[in-house]
């Protein structure tokens, strides 16, 4: 299965759901163990991927969302091992029924630390490529940089690869940096040839994200010509006395939307 084949079906492509949330619910383990499980409990991650495929997912994201030195607090060599293992697990679970996408997000420096993170991004990208990755998803982003540079790197190194980019905005339609969605799209427009899809994820529940998805779809049809990806939160978090967070929206509401 490849992305072009999926998109030619002319109907919505169903993605998987959250990995970290389901990982903690299923195991009781800390969310901080999720990416490490690619190498410490690979059979568990494979099982989660397969459950999503069985439920109808046609697009699997690798369990690598927080796989970077800042989030995991480990050497880059360990990160790259986790990344490579994560892609292998997703690819195997996808089989011929789904597409496996190399999942990346922004790396945030700790405190006031100033460092050039582009080399780490590219090392992670190369780790995915070494396993044969053909589809990349940059998700939960609040700004375009440096993912325009990473996309350019990918397109030069492997022109046939597909690169999708997905931003996150609040219910008010702005990023945590205070940037409106429209400005993000305007910034991306000159670089549209680097991307094969654009989307929104996280940040909003389904009702709010539907409004912004319509805006995004209209903008893409007029200026970008790219397929649109939408992955909302299942509602909004509630904090319990145990200091654990829950999002109580029932799946039937998502299905109706």
Q: What angle do CA 85, 135, 1 make, to 5 degrees?
A: 95
Contact indicator for 94, 16 with CB cutoff of 8 Å:
no
- In-domain check, residue 201: no
In a domain, 6, yes or no: yes
Q: Cβ distance 147 to 138 under 8 Å?
A: yes
User: What tens digit of pLDDT does each residue of 169-198 get?
Assistant: 999 999 999 999 999 999 999 999 999 999
Question: Is residue 153 assigned to a domain?
Answer: no
pTM over 0.85: yes
Burial category of 241 from C-beta neighbours within 10 Å (exposed 0-12, middle 13-18, buried 19 and up): exposed
Q: What is the DSSP annotation of 222-233?
A: III---EEEE--
Q: Has residue 71 been placed in a domain?
A: yes
Residue 154 has which token pair? 């990918």
In order along its 257 residues, the chain shows pLDDT tens digits of 899 999 998 899 999 999 999 999 999 999 999 999 999 999 999 999 999 999 999 999 999 999 999 999 999 999 999 999 999 999 999 999 999 999 999 999 877 676 899 999 999 999 999 999 999 999 999 999 999 999 999 999 999 999 999 999 999 999 999 999 999 999 999 999 999 999 999 988 888 999 999 999 999 999 999 999 999 987 665 544 444 444 555 555 555 55
Is 141 a member of any domain?
Answer: no
User: For residues 207 and 255, what is the distance between their CA atoms, to the nearest angstrom?
Assistant: 12
Q: Is residue 173 domain-resident?
A: no
Q: Which domain holds residue 43?
A: 1-133
Query: Is residue 226 in a domain?
Result: no
CATH number at residue 30: 3.20.20.330
Count of domains for the chain: 1
Q: Is 254 among the domain residues?
A: no
Q: Which two tokens stand for residue 31?
A: 């969310």
């Amino acid at each position: 299965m490849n992305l072009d084949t999926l998109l030619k079906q002319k109907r919505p492509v169903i993605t998987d759901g959250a990995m970290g949330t389901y990982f903690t619910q299923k195991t009781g383990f800390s969310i901080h163990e999720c990416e490490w499980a690619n190498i410490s409990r690979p059979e568990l991650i494979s099982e989660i991927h397969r459950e999503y495929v069985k439920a109808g997912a046609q697009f699997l994201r690798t369990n690598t969302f927080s796989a970077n030195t800042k989030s995991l607090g480990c050497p880059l060599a360990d990160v790259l091992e986790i990344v490579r293992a994560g892609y292998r697990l997703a690819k195997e679970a996808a089989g011929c029924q789904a597409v496996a996408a190399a999942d990346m997000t922004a790396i945030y420096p700790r405190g006031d630390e100033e460092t050039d993170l582009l080399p780490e991004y590219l090392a992670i990208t190369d780790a995915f490529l070494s396993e044969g990755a053909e589809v990349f998803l940059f998700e939960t982003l609040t700004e375009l940089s440096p993912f325009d540079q990473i996309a350019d790197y990918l397109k030069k190194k492997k022109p046939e690869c597909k690169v999708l980019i997905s931003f996150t905005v609040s219910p008010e339609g702005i990023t945590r940096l205070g940037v409106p969605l429209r400005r993000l799209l305007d910034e991306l427009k000159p670089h549209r040839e680097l991307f094969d899809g654009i989307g929104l994820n996280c940040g909003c529940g389904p009702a709010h994200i539907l409004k912004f998805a319509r805006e995004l779809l209209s903008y893409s049809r007029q200026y970008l010509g790219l397929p649109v990806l939408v992955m909302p939160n299942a509602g909004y978090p509630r904090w319990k006395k145990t200091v654990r967070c829950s999002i109580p929206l029932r799946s039937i509401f998502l299905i109706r939307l």
